[in-house]
Structure 1
Amino acid sequence: MLAMSEVHCIKLMRNQKGLSISKIAKTMNINWRTAKKYADKDQVPTSKIQSKKGMMYEERWGEMVCDWLEEDARLKKKLRRTNKQLFQELLKYGFPGSYRTVCQFISDWRATEESQKDKGYERLNHPIGEAQVDFGIMEAVLEGEIVDIHALIMSFPYSNVAFSVPLPSENQECFLSGLKQLFEQAGGVPKSIRIDNLTPAVKKVRDSNGEAQLTDELMAFQNHYGFDVQVCNPRSGHEKGSVERKVGYIRYNFFSVPPVIKDFDDLTEQLKEVLQKDRQREHYKKQESIEYLWEEEQKKLYKLPEEDYPVFKETLIKVNKYNEFKLDQHLIHIPKAKNYYPLYCILYWDQYRIVTGNGEILLTDFRPYMKKRRLIPWSDILKDWMHKPRVIGHSRYKEYLPARIREYLLVPSLAIRKQRINEIISLLLQHDMKEIEEHFYEYIGQRDNEINHPYEVEWS
């Protein structure tokens, strides 16, 4: 089996240099079948270049061929139409020229496209189809408790459109799974992605040649989807300024008050809806709507692969004498783990699975960080409300209160409000807010006429 760097090199020679399978096999000193296997598994699409002259350029024929070449460039190389097939397609529309004319036009188009692509990386402006990706830490409220959200944000500088996926951590499984979801939201794959020196993506910031070394897992992911990776220089956040600004924009416009969520999927949908509405505003520089520019840019993205890419990590684990192993800085107990060897842990972004060497699943559960939450400081908040009971009705914390307690506190009389706030503060000395909500009638008090009018009674 070839190393990931060798696989990447083969794909570059096949898809970008246009070498034959035989030439690749000879250059890499490998078997022809091996070269064929790795060269044609994925593709690196090419962009469209406008034609300038000739019979193909003055009539519609050149435009038709350019459209077909652009369509085929988004497919795997083995699925692209040959010159002869393109010529036969033209004949169906009454093309009067020869096969040689078509071949010459296609050859010029490919040469111009390659030259233009190299020139494009030297420009100061961002090429169409280029994306920037970064994490931003936000907060949300789940079941009355604070959850840290690691939002993976992808920004397209050309159109200024953005997509975001909330994740519980910034490890490799979350990073790659987040990229998959971002590609699906965008409806395609960016031609290139600019990142900083993220630990899940870069294993060595600079090698002897001055280039960043990507992790094998990211390179395998990159080969499957066909995008390029550009790594920023250390301590150079300005090199991906578009996504840096998007992180702040999303934080201040959506997370300034932590949103109430049901789960990560719910927050994903909330973010998706907000960012879709945000496209209706005008681009800050181009005097066009972001939606219009995005529709133009979206056409240049690579197509999503037909085959799904599973993101997981499989590791051999060792347990201590108590049948425990450490995962995400937490000890996990596996019943009768000492009775099995070997044991493997399969890690996904949100779950883990313990499997024996025979494939028997011993344990499946959410990863420990999925349950990591912080309590809202209700005692301090309620003490502030005691001085200004009127503020409850429009407080930013009102929506975080459990339903029964919120209705219990929001009574017209400010005197009763203060009395009930003080009662909840006393209960918080021995119980948390969730427990008070679950045993509301037991803790607050219950009378016969309270059953029909539970919130209209004034308790002493």
Structure 2
Amino acid sequence: MLAVAQIDYIRHEVNQKGGTYSSVARKMEIDPRTVSKYANQEEFKKREKQTRVSPVMGPVKPIIDKWLKEDLKKKKKYHRTAKKMYQQLKKFHSFQGAYRTVRDYVSKRKYELREDYREAALPLESFPGTAQVDFGTAPFEYYSEVIELPYLVMSFPYSNSFYFQVFPSENTECLLEGLQRMFQHMGGVPRVIRFDNLSPAVKKVMAKGNRELTQTFERFTLHYGFKYEFCNPGKGNEKGHVEAMVKYVRNNFLLPECMITELDQFNETLWELAEEDRNRPHYEKRIFQSELYLQDKEEWLLLPEKSFECVRYQELKADKYGFVSLDDKQYSTSPRFAQQRVKLCISYNSVMVLSEKNELIVSHSRLYGTRRKSMVWQPYLDLLSKRPKAIKYSNIYNQFPEVWASYLRNCTEEEQKEALRLLGKLLKNQDFSLLNEALALAAQNGHPSTDQIKHCFYSLYNNTDTHDAISTNLVVPILPSVTRGLNHYDTFFKEEVHSNG
């Protein structure tokens, strides 16, 4: 085929200047029939590239494509080489072609497949293996009280399906815990996930679409290998599928208020609800969503061997009582760490206090809602039982329940030691309720001893009624006075001699 400039010259010389086919052909050193063809051609369609049938490579191309798609779900170090593919084709598929032919095809197809995935990241709704993520909120009944809790939704636009989990907050730890739970339940990781500019993931939106990510979220994406995308500020419609799914989940699964007693158990029931919802035709494709979901699944990345530790670490200074403040909540450490820095290991449901050597000092359940303080007493009781005088100068009485604070103020030093040792032994899960009841019961007849408190505690614990047998106001009969020495024996013998006489 002639170049465009040559065709333009032919048409100008023949049609505009009146040159003959043969004269133009002699000037260009081509066949006159070629000159005639291009001078009189009416339209110039793009010539389609001819696809030649390859009898050697044709049967094995689908096999190589399958291997390449599998490898793209793995880390590069686990990819098959072209040489390895060639060896497997020869050994298991009776391939008769040359290694160079396989190598060239593998190189070309790798590039094409990567380009396909790059293009798939733009129109996110149109391709399998992609997802969108967002939080919603709904009311829940928790111990007869209606509270509002967030729930995390991951939607799959291609199959119009989803998963969701309920959490106590929208913080970084809850976001990552939710994503990891979904990945593990799904058995794979979406190639591309689109987010709104969630504060648990994005610290700052900068110019030209750049974002400064939170350190924990950045490590999470590296661990699981998915490509993340964020909507432009104020453009929530760019993740319209998940926004619609947030409303769908609330209306169909969370209203009216669901009753929750234990959040993790409640979340376990939500997997099945989401999977049953796929047993209906897609609103446009007229194929069951469960079938489309399988196509989504085929495009997911493989899970890494190890789970991600969904925690963050933070150093804080304890106050004079040994408390640290996190998210406007207070957590106890130990009196020996008062006014010192400690390290916190923070997950979505726990706060662990660590020493400089990363030794566990104490572990708390993470506080949400209106509760402001978490107190773990054991570190305080152990120290105070050895140094009871320190209790008067530490204001630690303010941290005890009032009934125990009053009791300890009226104890002698030795009684304080015994009382604190008893508390250290009987206090479980930081729950003073039974101990408070035992102390109040034992104190009905005056200032009780630790043995009396202990007896009342176990009576209440075992639902017995033997505490009535113990009383400080026992009625004791009056005994005769006792004289010491042997004089009473002399009196006895004198009386005996007198009677014999």
TM-score (norm 1): 0.66
State whether residues 173 and 312 of structure 1, in contact with CA within 8 Å, keep that contact through their aligned partners in structure 2: yes
SS at match of 1:276: helix
State whether residues 162 and 274 of structure 2, in contact with CA within 8 Å, keep that contact through their aligned partners in structure 1: yes
Matched residue, 2:362: 363
List aligned pairs for 1:267-306, cutoff 5 A: 267-306=266-305
- Separation in 2, partners of 1:122, 1:359: 45
What percent of counterpart residues are identical? 34
- Separation in 2, partners of 1:56, 1:325: 74
List aligned pairs for 1:44-55, cutoff 5 A: 55=54
List aligned pairs for 1:271-350, cutoff 5 A: 271-338=270-337, 341-350=340-349
List aligned pairs for 1:110-125, cutoff 5 A: 110-123=110-123, 125=125
Going from structure 1 to structure 2, the CA distance change for 1:125 and 1:261 (only over 3 Å counts) comes to closer
- Separation in 2, partners of 1:351, 1:290: 38
Matched residue, 1:44: none
Matched residue, 2:197: 197
SS at match of 1:55: coil
- Separation in 2, partners of 1:124, 1:81: 29
Matched residue, 2:261: 262
- Separation in 1, partners of 2:118, 2:252: 38
- Separation in 2, partners of 1:54, 1:88: 23
- Separation in 2, partners of 1:339, 1:372: 22
Are 1:228 and 2:251 matched, yes or no? no
Matched residue, 1:107: 107
List aligned pairs for 1:394-409, cutoff 5 A: none
Deviation at 1:284, TM superposition (A): 0.7
Residues 275-297 of structure 1 show CA distances to partners (whole Å, capped at 9, x for unaligned) of 11101011111100110100111
SS at match of 2:268: helix
- Separation in 1, partners of 2:52, 2:206: 44
Going from structure 1 to structure 2, the CA distance change for 1:235 and 1:169 (only over 3 Å counts) comes to same
Going from structure 1 to structure 2, the CA distance change for 1:117 and 1:75 (only over 3 Å counts) comes to closer
Deviation at 1:56, TM superposition (A): 7.3
Residues 178-237 of structure 1 show CA distances to partners (whole Å, capped at 9, x for unaligned) of 110111222210111111111111112123x33233222222111111111111011111
SS at match of 1:189: coil
Deviation at 1:347, TM superposition (A): 0.2
- Whichever residue aligns with residue 94 of structure 2, its letter is G
- Separation in 2, partners of 1:108, 1:53: 16
- Separation in 2, partners of 1:325, 1:122: 46
Going from structure 1 to structure 2, the CA distance change for 1:216 and 1:59 (only over 3 Å counts) comes to same
Residues 409-456 of structure 1 show CA distances to partners (whole Å, capped at 9, x for unaligned) of xxxxxxxxxxxxxxxxxxxxxxxxxxxxxxxxxxxxxxxxxxxxxxxx
- Separation in 1, partners of 2:318, 2:124: 54
- Whichever residue aligns with residue 172 of structure 1, its letter is T
Going from structure 1 to structure 2, the CA distance change for 1:122 and 1:322 (only over 3 Å counts) comes to closer
Matched residue, 1:177: 177
- Whichever residue aligns with residue 133 of structure 1, its letter is V
Matched residue, 1:94: 94
State whether residues 132 and 243 of structure 1, in contact with CA within 8 Å, keep that contact through their aligned partners in structure 2: yes
State whether residues 134 and 152 of structure 1, in contact with CA within 8 Å, keep that contact through their aligned partners in structure 2: yes
State whether residues 151 and 167 of structure 2, in contact with CA within 8 Å, keep that contact through their aligned partners in structure 1: yes
SS at match of 2:321: coil
State whether residues 137 and 150 of structure 1, in contact with CA within 8 Å, keep that contact through their aligned partners in structure 2: yes
Going from structure 1 to structure 2, the CA distance change for 1:95 and 1:182 (only over 3 Å counts) comes to same
Give the number of equivalent residue pairs: 321
The root-mean-square deviation of aligned C-alpha atoms, in Å, is 2.1
- Separation in 2, partners of 1:169, 1:123: 31
- Separation in 1, partners of 2:305, 2:245: 30
Matched residue, 2:83: 84
Going from structure 1 to structure 2, the CA distance change for 1:118 and 1:327 (only over 3 Å counts) comes to closer
Deviation at 1:306, TM superposition (A): 0.7
Residues 59-79 of structure 1 show CA distances to partners (whole Å, capped at 9, x for unaligned) of 330111111111111111111
Matched residue, 2:157: 157
State whether residues 147 and 372 of structure 1, in contact with CA within 8 Å, keep that contact through their aligned partners in structure 2: no
SS at match of 2:126: coil
Matched residue, 1:246: 245
State whether residues 318 and 340 of structure 2, in contact with CA within 8 Å, keep that contact through their aligned partners in structure 1: no
State whether residues 163 and 185 of structure 1, in contact with CA within 8 Å, keep that contact through their aligned partners in structure 2: no
Deviation at 1:137, TM superposition (A): 0.9
Are 1:167 and 2:153 matched, yes or no? no
Going from structure 1 to structure 2, the CA distance change for 1:188 and 1:371 (only over 3 Å counts) comes to farther
SS at match of 2:155: strand
Going from structure 1 to structure 2, the CA distance change for 1:56 and 1:201 (only over 3 Å counts) comes to farther
State whether residues 56 and 96 of structure 2, in contact with CA within 8 Å, keep that contact through their aligned partners in structure 1: no
SS at match of 1:281: coil
State whether residues 189 and 224 of structure 2, in contact with CA within 8 Å, keep that contact through their aligned partners in structure 1: yes
Matched residue, 1:446: none
- Separation in 2, partners of 1:328, 1:246: 30
Residues 147-174 of structure 1 show CA distances to partners (whole Å, capped at 9, x for unaligned) of 4321110000000110111111111111
Matched residue, 2:483: none
Deviation at 1:300, TM superposition (A): 0.6
State whether residues 341 and 357 of structure 1, in contact with CA within 8 Å, keep that contact through their aligned partners in structure 2: no
TM-score (norm 2): 0.61
Matched residue, 1:401: none
State whether residues 209 and 232 of structure 2, in contact with CA within 8 Å, keep that contact through their aligned partners in structure 1: no
- Whichever residue aligns with residue 344 of structure 2, its letter is C
Matched residue, 1:388: none
- Whichever residue aligns with residue 136 of structure 1, its letter is G
- Separation in 2, partners of 1:371, 1:299: 45
Deviation at 1:362, TM superposition (A): 1.8
Matched residue, 1:130: 130
Going from structure 1 to structure 2, the CA distance change for 1:107 and 1:216 (only over 3 Å counts) comes to same
Deviation at 1:99, TM superposition (A): 0.5
- Separation in 1, partners of 2:321, 2:152: 37
State whether residues 328 and 369 of structure 1, in contact with CA within 8 Å, keep that contact through their aligned partners in structure 2: no
- Whichever residue aligns with residue 317 of structure 2, its letter is K
- Separation in 2, partners of 1:245, 1:337: 53
284-293 or 52-61, which moves further after superposition? 52-61
